[in-house]
Amino acid sequence: MSYLRKNKRQYNEIREVTVYTDYCPNALGSVLYQCGNTQVICAVSCSTQVPQHALDKGTGWLTAEYTLLPYATDPRTERNRIKPDGRSVEIQRLIGRCLRTVVDLAAIQNISFIVDCDVLQADGGTRTAAITGAYIALQIAIQKLIHRNVIDVNPVIARVAAISVGYIGDSLLLDLDYAEDSQCDVDMNLVMDSNYQIIEIQGAGERRSYSFHELDSMITIAKNGIEKLFQIQNEILKLC
């Protein structure tokens, strides 16, 4: 029996995506990225303070921070006043890795990008939404730097987007909300560039193991979803 999704969404259908650009006036580039009921602010700032390892290589740098705001979940998530929790650290490292993969750091010597991703509302897929939205915010920031003659060329060599996928029983579902993710027997987050090369796979058998055939099926349906996200990114950036 096939799993019935809310709002009659098809198994291979992504959630509705809405993007508000320049959401944070003080950031160089920013968006409010809404994916279904998940909402993430992605804001990019720029600094001339570059880590020593980047200075030694003569390159720039990009890093990310991720925060799940207390009221993003029900019940409330405790605010981390001393240090980030392990999940937040893991996710912000993921965001930074994925964005650095598509940026030519040699082209931004002595420049650091800081990407802040703050989850306003969490309903599944916050890390994938953060990656997809952060790419848009980064491109907006870069265009402003080019316009100001801070950099000469766009250092981004490919687009990047991410999406979740999983099995509930025998039903394969794309772009999981929280209710679906919490029921998954197998789930995966997939990050790809616009050459359809895989940047990262985070997959786990939550309640059972999975076959190579199921792995291939998850990658295929995720690729199709990411292709739609690339189209949305392009449409938004054309308007900026």
Would you state the pLDDT for residue 240? Answer: 82
Q: Is residue 221 part of a domain?
A: no
Q: What does 3-31 look like in DSSP terms, one character per residue?
A: PPPGGG--TTPPPPEEEEES-STTSSEEE
The pLDDT confidence band at residue 1, using thresholds 50, 70 and 90, is low
3-state secondary structure of 60: coil
Q: Is residue 207 part of a domain?
A: no
Would you state the pLDDT for residue 105? Answer: 97
- As for how many domains the chain has, the answer is 1
Structure tokens at 81: 């006043």
Of residues 68 and 228, more confidence is placed in: 228
Q: Is residue 137 part of a domain?
A: yes
Print burial letters for 189-209: b (CB count within 10 Å at least 16), e (below 16). bbbbbbeeeebeeebeeeeee
Q: Which residue, 110, 148, 118, is CA-closest to 44?
A: 118
Structure tokens at 18: 């809405």
3-state secondary structure of 231: helix
Would you state the pLDDT for residue 100? Answer: 98
Q: In this structure, what CATH number is given to the domain that contains residue 63?
A: 3.30.230.70
The pLDDT confidence band at residue 74, using thresholds 50, 70 and 90, is confident
**Mind listing the pLDDT tens digit for each residue in 152-199?**
999 999 999 999 999 999 999 999 999 999 999 999 999 999 999 999
Q: Is residue 4 part of a domain?
A: no
- Region label for 99, one of left (φ > 0), alpha (ψ between -120 and 50) or beta (otherwise): alpha
Containing structural domain, residue 76 = 12-159+228-238
**Mind listing the pLDDT tens digit for each residue in 17-33?**
999 999 999 999 999 99
What is the rounded distance in angstroms from the CA atom of residue 8 to the CA atom of residue 2? 12
Q: Is residue 48 part of a domain?
A: yes
Q: Is residue 185 part of a domain?
A: no
What percentage of the chain has pLDDT greater than the value 70?
A: 99
Q: What is the pTM of this model?
A: 0.95
DSSP state of 115: E
Strands 29-35 and 17-21: antiparallel
Mean local confidence (pLDDT), 114-137: 98
What is the rounded distance in angstroms from the CA atom of residue 27 to the CA atom of residue 3? 42
Helical axes 126-147 vs 212-238, angle rounded to 10°: 40
What is the rounded distance in angstroms from the CA atom of residue 73 to the CA atom of residue 68? 8
User: How many Å separate Cα 73 from the centre of its chain?
Assistant: 19
